[in-house]
């Protein structure tokens, strides 16, 4: 049992490291977009390799735990949730990398006025606020914090939905700006997907802490 606990502690430590790596990627993606910082774009590309390596490391540990220790109850739920959380974190990292690539291909950078009109900075700030809240929920096994994520995700959906309409109107009012509007819409949809992945993670935290499945149900 002591060996199992040591392995569970090691898994939790690796999950925390993964959380921190991916949070850094999202923060960098925000800087890349809002400040048109191309040096950050390169940093995101380099860290993406670390995120992928960490995902494989966590998967391997989960598989070892399941094969060697046949865990039950909360330990089993945590391992199963860790596998799903790991997938969602890796996908958030991919999204951050994709945003950075789009910034790198936008020359000389996205229109400041358009970014302000669509509330790009606010959408990123909300996603990062959700992320930090989720990290606390994971560390403390706080299901109340996890449930807050389910509500906050709806606010990001509202902003990103509105941003599509605003970008379309902007491209109509300013001929020649369609080349800016289309990638910006794609990026805002990516921010929306970050929120969706965070919601998935919140549901997994609630699952292993309370043994309650919330998938496909409305926020409570």
Does the residue 75 lie in any domain?
A: yes
Q: What is the mean pLDDT of the chain?
A: 92
Supply the pLDDT for residue 179. Answer: 85
Three-class SS state of 86? helix
User: Average pLDDT, stretch 143-162?
Assistant: 92
User: Average pLDDT, stretch 162-177?
Assistant: 88
Does the residue 21 lie in any domain?
A: yes
Residue 162's nearest CA partner among 192, 133, 200 is 192
Quote the domain boundaries for residue 76: 2-210
Does the residue 205 lie in any domain?
A: yes
- The two most distant CA atoms of the chain are separated, in Å, by 68
Q: Is the pLDDT of residue 177 over 90?
A: no
215 — pLDDT class (breaks 50, 70, 90):
low
pLDDT tens-place string over residues 27-40: 999 999 999 998 99
Does the residue 219 lie in any domain?
A: no
217 — pLDDT class (breaks 50, 70, 90):
low
Does the residue 217 lie in any domain?
A: no
Residues 6+ apart with CB under 8 A from 199: 149, 150, 153
Distances (CA, A) of 16 to 36, 136, 150, 177: 29, 10, 21, 42
Supply the pLDDT for residue 220. Answer: 47
- Total of domains in the chain: 1
Residues 6+ apart with CB under 8 A from 219: 147, 150, 151, 154
Supply the pLDDT for residue 156. Answer: 92
CATH number of the domain encompassing residue 93: 1.20.58.220
Does the residue 218 lie in any domain?
A: no
Q: Is the pLDDT of residue 95 over 80?
A: yes
Does the residue 50 lie in any domain?
A: yes
Does the residue 128 lie in any domain?
A: yes
């Amino acid at each position: 049992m002591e060996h199992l606990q040591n392995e569970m502690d090691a898994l939790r430590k690796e999950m925390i490291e993964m959380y921190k790596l991916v949070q850094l990627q999202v923060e960098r993606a925000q800087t890349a977009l809002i400040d048109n910082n191309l040096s950050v774009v390169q940093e995101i590309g380099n860290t993406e390799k670390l995120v992928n390596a960490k995902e494989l490391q966590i998967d391997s540990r989960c598989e070892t735990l399941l094969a060697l220790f046949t865990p039950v109850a909360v330990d089993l739920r945590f391992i199963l949730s860790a596998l799903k959380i790991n997938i969602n974190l890796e996908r958030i990292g991919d999204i951050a990398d994709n945003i950075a690539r789009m910034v790198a291909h936008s020359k000389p950078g996205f229109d400041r006025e358009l970014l302000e009109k669509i509330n790009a900075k606010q959408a990123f700030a909300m996603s990062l606020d959700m992320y930090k809240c989720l990290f606390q929920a994971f560390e403390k096994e706080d299901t109340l914090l996890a449930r807050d994520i389910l509500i906050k995700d709806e606010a990001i959906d509202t902003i990103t939905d509105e941003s599509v309409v605003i970008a379309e109107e902007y491209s109509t009012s300013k001929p020649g700006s369609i080349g800016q509007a289309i990638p910006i819409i794609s990026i805002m949809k990516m921010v929306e997907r970050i929120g969706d992945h965070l919601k998935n993670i919140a549901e997994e935290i609630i699952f292993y802490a309370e043994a309650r499945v919330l998938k496909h149900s409305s926020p409570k």
